């Protein structure tokens, strides 16, 4: 892609610093009898080395598809197009969408690893946890004994008993233990980037907080870049450096986590905050988001949120907004973002003094 084309991309996609992954015009589509289903739509994003990027949105907004795209792991018959470039330290950039299958297998787990949804069903019930680690090490040509020593260190970092975990079968572990074992397995080959797709969704609030605290420590110890996918904006906002809000398979707001939590500029982000259980919000202030997300086969013209938006008008129906700067570290795709606080008031954060 030419330098002129890169400069033309929405400013909200561009981070300042040292990108470890750059995504340009990423699209995922499924050709169906009733039409083409677009489940990721012209996504542009810079993921900065060493950051924790929180990706949030409702169910069906495209979060998991974005995660799969980062590893070129979109399942058939899905078609992924665009550019996804991995920038390893001290090596040439790697174009993930133009790798041979064996090359892609090397990048996955060793450079970019992923914790998929559903720790409860992620392990083979006929194999011990230790056998899962041995299988992964063997598949990538790593020595078993040094690898298991690293596994033991990871277990200790995650407050688990190494010997007990390695000898246990999945059914002998609690949900929180299995989730932490899955995190350890994802890190066994020393990746630089860890993508986590709803890693705490099936856990109670106390265990969610515990695992997030452990991840915070592990990120620093192992110099990780984290991409944390979640539907729970308040939880991830306390953990992430930046937030990227997805709606209808497109990013609509990107910025520093604290700024978005306290000064959300997109009506959808504000509605999402208002609809999510949060100890800071009085119960009578919580409201569901009215309407439904658009069908991926019949995506609306203009702004994708306009059918549900209190600020939506004729302009929004035909004119798809570009990213606009809220400040130098916060961008939003909305024609009327400066009126969003009036249209969707919040009882906390940036509106608490109103």
For every residue of 84-104, DSSP letters joined together read: EEE--TTS--EEGGG--HHHH
pLDDT at residue 88 tops 90 = yes
Task: State the pLDDT at residue 352.
Answer: 44
Q: Say what the pTM is.
A: 0.90
Map tokens 């995922």 to a residue. Answer: 28
pLDDT in tens, 288-342: 788 788 888 887 889 999 999 999 999 999 999 999 999 999 999 999 999 999 9
Rounded Cα distance between 129 and 127, Å, is 7
Helices 175-186 and 144-157 cross at an angle (nearest 10°) of: 130
CATH code linked to domain 19-240: 3.40.50.300
The DSSP output letter for 320 is P
Contacts (Cβ under 8 Å, ≥6 apart) of 104: 72, 96
Write the burial class of residue 89 (CB in 10 Å: 0-12 exposed, 13-18 middle, 19+ buried): exposed
Q: Which residues pair with 330 in a beta bridge?
A: 255, 327
Asked whether the beta carbons of 315 and 306 are under 8 A apart, the reply is no
Q: How confident is the model at residue 119 (pLDDT cuts 50, 70, 90)?
A: low
With b for 16 or more beta-carbon neighbours within 10 A and e for fewer, the 185-194 pattern comes to bbbbbebbbb
Beta-bridge partner residues of 129: none
Instruction: Say how far apart CA 343 and CA 266 lie, in whole Å.
Output: 10
pLDDT digits (tens, 9 = 90+) for 256-298: 999 998 899 999 999 998 887 665 556 566 677 887 888 888 8
45-67 pLDDT per residue, tens: 999 999 999 999 988 899 999 99
d(CA 278, CA 235): 9
φ/ψ region of 32 (left if φ > 0, alpha if ψ in -120 to 50, else beta) reads: beta
CA-based radius of gyration for the chain: 21
Domains of the chain, by residue range, sit at 19-240, 246-343
């Amino acid at each position: 892609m030419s330098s002129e084309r890169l400069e033309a991309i929405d400013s909200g996609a561009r981070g300042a610093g040292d990108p470890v992954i750059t995504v340009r015009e990423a699209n995922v589509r499924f050709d169906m009898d009733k039409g083409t289903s677009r489940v990721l739509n012209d996504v542009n994003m810079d993921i900065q080395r060493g950051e924790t990027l929180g990706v949030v949105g409702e169910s069906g907004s495209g979060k998991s598809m974005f995660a799969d795209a980062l590893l070129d792991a979109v399942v058939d018959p899905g078609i992924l197009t665009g550019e996804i470039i991995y920038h390893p330290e001290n090596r040439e950039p790697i174009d993930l969408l133009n790798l041979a299958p064996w090359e892609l297998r090397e990048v996955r787990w060793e450079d970019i690893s992923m914790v998929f949804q559903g720790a409860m069903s992620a392990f083979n019930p006929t194999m011990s946890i230790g056998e899962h680690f041995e299988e992964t090490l063997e598949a990538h040509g790593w020595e078993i004994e040094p690898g298991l020593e690293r596994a033991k260190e990871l277990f200790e970092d995650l407050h688990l008993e190494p010997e007990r975990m390695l000898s246990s079968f999945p059914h002998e572990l609690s949900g929180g233990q299995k989730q932490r074992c899955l995190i350890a397995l994802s890190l066994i080959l020393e990746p630089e980037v860890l993508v986590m797709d709803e890693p705490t969704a099936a856990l109670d609030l106390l265990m969610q907080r515990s695992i997030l605290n452990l991840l915070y420590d592990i990120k620093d110890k192992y110099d990780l870049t984290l991409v944390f996918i979640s539907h729970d904006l308040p939880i991830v906002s306390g953990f992430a450096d930046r937030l990227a809000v997805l709606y209808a398979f497109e990013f609509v707001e990107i910025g520093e986590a604290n700024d978005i939590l306290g000064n959300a500029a997109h009506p959808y982000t504000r509605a999402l905050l208002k609809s999510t259980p949060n100890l800071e919000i009085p119960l009578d202030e919580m409201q569901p988001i009215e309407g439904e997300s658009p069908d991926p086969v019949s995506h609306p013209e203009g702004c994708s949120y306009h059918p549900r938006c209190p600020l939506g008008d004729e302009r929004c129906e035909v004119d798809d907004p570009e990213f606009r700067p809220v400040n130098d570290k916060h961008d939003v795709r909305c024609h009327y973002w400066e009126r969003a606080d009036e249209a969707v008031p919040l009882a906390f954060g940036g509106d608490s003094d109103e």
